[in-house]
């Protein structure tokens, strides 16, 4: 599920549209529910909390504070939901990917996804068609 969320977000144009973000959010929510179930199901639950988690928690707290003091509350709330979701992904990944095989699978899938994105960008740069990935979305420069 982690790999699905990490690959789905960039492929779905950065998950900026509400539909793709809801899909990524559903995958992350399912990941979180499964992790919480596993955490509660084991006889000795343990929460792995590295020092970097304090930085992520501070950033999520700062984003929440900025949401509450923002002039445009609706947009700030949307951004806070994104930051909180990414913080949750960090916590779930840190607690579940402790074996080197799992880390290697995530790293390889991210490298393959990044390489595919770079090849797609090169195709778009050298191709006369000005749509993004053939979907029909025009780049900002041509709007």
Span 32-62, pLDDT tens digits: 998 888 888 887 878 888 899 999 999 999 9
Distance from C-alpha of 31 to C-alpha of 2, rounded to nearest angstrom: 7
pLDDT higher than threshold 70 for residue 130: no
Q: Of 84-88, 97-101, 123-127, which one has max mean pLDDT?
A: 84-88
CB distance 88 to 61 below 8 Å: no
Confidence of residue 21 (pLDDT cuts 50, 70, 90): confident
Cα–Cα–Cα angle for 63, 67, 69, nearest 5°? 120
pLDDT higher than threshold 60 for residue 105: yes
Taking residue 119's Cβ as centre, other Cβ atoms within 10 Å add up to: 10
Distance from C-alpha of 126 to C-alpha of 86, rounded to nearest angstrom: 34
Confidence of residue 136 (pLDDT cuts 50, 70, 90): low
Taking residue 8's Cβ as centre, other Cβ atoms within 10 Å add up to: 15
CB distance 27 to 4 below 8 Å: yes
SS3 135: coil
Distance from C-alpha of 4 to C-alpha of 109, rounded to nearest angstrom: 9
* pTM of the full structure: 0.70
The whole-number pLDDT of residue 135 equals: 61
Confidence of residue 94 (pLDDT cuts 50, 70, 90): confident
Distance from C-alpha of 108 to C-alpha of 126, rounded to nearest angstrom: 27
């Amino acid at each position: 599920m982690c790999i699905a969320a990490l690959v789905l977000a960039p492929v779905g144009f950065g998950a900026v549209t509400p539909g793709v973000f809801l899909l990524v959010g559903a995958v992350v929510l399912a990941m979180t529910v499964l992790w919480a179930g596993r955490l509660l199901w084991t006889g000795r639950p343990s929460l792995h909390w590295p020092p970097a988690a304090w930085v992520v928690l501070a950033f999520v707290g700062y984003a929440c504070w900025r949401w509450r003091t923002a002039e445009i509350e609706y947009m700030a709330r949307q951004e806070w939901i994104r930051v909180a979701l990414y913080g949750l992904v960090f916590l779930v990944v840190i607690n579940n990917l402790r074996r080197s095989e799992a880390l290697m699978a995530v790293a390889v899938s991210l490298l393959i996804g990044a390489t595919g994105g770079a090849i797609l960008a090169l195709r778009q740069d050298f191709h006369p068609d000005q749509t993004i990935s053939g979907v029909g979305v025009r780049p900002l420069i041509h709007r």
